[in-house]
Amino acid sequence: MAIDIHWIRDNDSLGQFCAQWQQLPFVALDTEFMRVDTFYPIAGLLQIGDGERAFLIDPLTIDNWQPLAQLLENPAVVKVLHACSEDLEVLLRLTGSLPAPLFDTQLAAAYLNLGFSMGYSRLVSEVLGIDLPKGETRSDWLQRPLSETQISYAAEDAVHLAEVFVRLRPKLSDDKYAWVLEDGAELVANLRREVDPYEVYREAKLAWKLSRAQLAVLRELCAWREHEARARDLPRNRIVREHSLWPLARTQPDNLGALAKIEDMHPRTVRQDGEFLLGLIKQAGSVPPDQWPPAVPEPLPVEAAALVKRLRALGQVEAERLNIAPELMLRKKTLEALLKSGFPEGPYQLPDSLRGWRRELMGQALLDCLATAGEQP
């Protein structure tokens, strides 16, 4: 069956259609973008499905995104997306707004125990019995005109995404539907949280092996790298490669020759920013001890693995009771943060990352499990 495709290429048309979509219970939303040599994604196409038609919005010819921003923020219209973390970045960059409420069909599939982290094509095949072509996922969405296959691919995405929502929604209990929206709101909240460039060093590889004095250098390097990636609109590794950060902070080179010998150091970085980096390292290396950052906690020891396994098993039992994908229950990072709060003797504290229904359902059970862990033979 041929898809009814409508192009939106100017501000007035976008405003008119957004006014119509404001009256709908939901819209399906997808984006195509390019992100090869940039920090920020570049929007190539936006697709909206209303349950019957596909609307293709050309971001290269539109500059007033206020009507779409209002639609995204309208609490009466559910926004349906799939595995949408990068789509959210595109929308925020383009419109300054994020979708609420957000229904992620990948999450919904997991709550229905169809599978965890399901790709879109597999979900469409599972729910609708339709095999989608895969040829256009990595094509150039900034070229004009778009090819017929690109247009068809994009339109199918919008139409089938709406159909998937219509099929999945009635199968979700009220609780599970609320959880899907809660997780969607969490995705949005995570993107809205501004990452402090001066906290990025805590996630750097091997940061825990550095002294506090060396961490002061790593902190400045990571913050500068983050600032520059955004300012130059380049991937972080084009500023300084990830694997160079730790040896830079540990050895603190004081000349270009030594800088060039740092592991995985790109010659371009030495040429463009070498002198600045040397100055930054020297300055950061001379800050007084009262300005050193706190030590980064070591990874959990091998002995903690058995406890992680016990906690995950607790989540697995609860997931089976609820008939949801077990991976939804307790994320590994959350369990590790819980253990780090008190290992090996306790007391333990629930981490901030355990939120919402998971905290209500699992929080006390996890603490009880840890409290009795030492009593096990």
Which CATH number does 302-375 carry? 1.10.150.80
Instruction: Give residues with Cβ within 8 angstroms of 32, minimum separation 6.
Output: 43, 44, 45, 46, 47, 141, 154
pLDDT tier for residue 165 given thresholds of 50, 70 and 90? very high
Kind of pairing, strands 42-49 and 54-57?
antiparallel
On the question of pLDDT at 136 being above 70, the answer is no
Q: Is 104 annotated in the active site?
A: no
Q: Which residues of the chain are in CATH 3.30.420.10 domains?
A: 5-192
Q: Is 32 annotated in the active site?
A: yes
Q: Which residues of the chain are in CATH 1.10.150.80 domains?
A: 197-291, 302-375
Q: For residues 118 and 131, what is the distance between their CA atoms, to the nearest angstrom? A: 14
What's the pTM value of the predicted model, to 2 decimals? 0.92
Report yes or no: 316 and 329 within 8 Å, Cβ to Cβ: yes
On the question of pLDDT at 376 being above 60, the answer is no
Which CATH number does 5-192 carry? 3.30.420.10
Q: What is the pLDDT of residue 346?
A: 85
Q: How far is CA 129 from CA 29, 120, 166, 171, 326, in A?
A: 21, 12, 14, 17, 25
Check 87, 89, 136, 156 and give the catalytic one: 87
Class of residue 306 by CB neighbours under 10 A (exposed 0-12, middle 13-18, buried 19+): exposed
Q: Is 153 annotated in the active site?
A: yes
pLDDT digit string, tens, across residues 137-162: 678 999 999 999 999 999 999 999 99
Helix (H) / strand (E) element for 185: namely: helix 174-192
Give the right CATH number for 197-291 from 1.10.150.80, 3.30.9.10, 3.30.160.20, 3.40.50.280: 1.10.150.80
How many residues are recorded in the chain?
A: 377
Residue 296, SS3 per DSSP: coil
CA angle 85/102/31 to nearest 5° reads 50
Stretch among 45-59, 123-137, 201-215, 330-344 having the lowest mean pLDDT: 123-137
Check 111, 120, 153, 177 and give the catalytic one: 153
Q: Is 273 annotated in the active site?
A: no
pLDDT tier for residue 133 given thresholds of 50, 70 and 90? confident
On the question of pLDDT at 33 being above 70, the answer is yes
Report yes or no: 281 and 246 within 8 Å, Cβ to Cβ: no
Check 50, 104, 157, 183 and give the catalytic one: 157
Q: For residues 326 and 175, what is the distance between their CA atoms, to the nearest angstrom? A: 17
Q: Is 87 annotated in the active site?
A: yes
| Nearest by Cα to 188 from 66, 27, 79 | 79
Backbone angles phi, psi at 296, to 5 degrees: -85, 130
Report yes or no: 355 and 183 within 8 Å, Cβ to Cβ: no
